[in-house]
Amino acid sequence: AKPGVPIRNIFVFVTVMVILSTLSYYFFAGRRIFLYFIKQTLFEVLISILGLLYALPFDKPINYGSIRIGTLLVLCLFVNIIYILRNVPGVGLYISMFIATMMTILKASVVFVLFLVAFAVAFSMILSDMTIFRGFDIAIVTVLTMMTGEINYADTFSHLSSTGRLTGFKVELLLFGIMVIVVNIAFANLLIGLAVGDINEVKETASLNQAKNHFQLIIGSYESYPMFIKKIIHSPGLTIRKDKHSSYSQKQIWHNLTAKLKFIQEDKNEADQETNLKDLKTLVLRQQTEISRLKELIEDAKSDINFHGNINRTETKKLIDQVLQAIKADGSEKYSIG
């Protein structure tokens, strides 16, 4: 290396070149293996770009901007290592569970982002003279930190009191109260419920995803092999070849031993029986469906009969009451005349 060229820049550049040469394999490995590694490939391309931005040019001085890029590079490298470990038995299951939980949280993050932006705009407007709310980006990070419970209300209230804003209609206190109820209590509990509400289901889903990833990796790796390697590792169940290396006497002995052997052909009666069984199962299922429909119709008819019977009984009772009242009225009139 030239004088003044940091060795670490050269090391990062060489590492990036190795990563890019490895990624080129996925483009020629077949469609299945390419789609399986597409997310990891794109992430590693991002890592390579960060590495090139950090290392090139070789003789540039290390400033704060380079340190920022290096920080992102190290973080992405560790995230990539964790993502690769998801296929490792044991620890891979918990990494898959973590990914499934994060996907659930991301689905609910649309609502959270709206609340986050709303409170960040409100606080950056009304508390713009405070350092923690000066600027929209700083306000978003502050509100995001306040969501974890670090509201820092003492310093804020002290600042409001010193500036004489705790008089009249206290909008600042109202915003703090709404944020505590909506974000710190309601939304935080919602995220916890979504993340760990049914941990057994999350574990089963992660286990199935891990098995699916293993199968896709195995099948994709096999499909990416060249044809001559596939021919070497291929092991068919039965291969019939013409005998070209045995002597005449050996062939005669083999012919005598296998003369009475025949290939077993499929019995048509058995195939017909299997077809009949399938038809019978279909017929039984159809009859069960018809019986269920008849039961529902009978229940509907019974309910209609009960309904009309109740109406008829009510009308009959009313008619009897009217007749009795008429008889009583007629008897009382005769008694009064007599």
**Cα separations in angstroms, 302 against 233, 288, 291, 332:** 70, 21, 16, 44
Structure tokens belonging to residue 24:
């080129």
Dist CA 205 CA 175 (whole Å): 40
DSSP string, 117-180: HHHHHHHHHHTTTSGGGSSHHHHHHHHHHHHTT---HHHHHHHHHHTT-SSSS-HHHHHHHHHI
What is the per-residue pLDDT for 333?
A: 54
Q: Where are the domains of the chain?
A: 7-87, 91-259, 275-338
pLDDT tens, position by position, for the chain (338 residues)?
Answer: 444 556 777 778 788 888 777 767 666 666 666 666 677 778 888 888 888 888 877 777 778 888 888 889 889 888 888 888 877 777 888 888 888 788 877 877 788 888 888 888 888 888 888 888 888 888 888 888 887 777 677 777 787 778 777 776 778 888 888 888 888 788 878 777 776 666 777 777 777 777 777 776 676 666 666 666 767 766 665 566 677 777 778 777 777 777 776 655 555 555 455 556 667 777 777 777 878 777 777 777 777 776 666 676 777 777 777 777 777 776 655 545 45
What is the per-residue pLDDT for 2?
A: 45
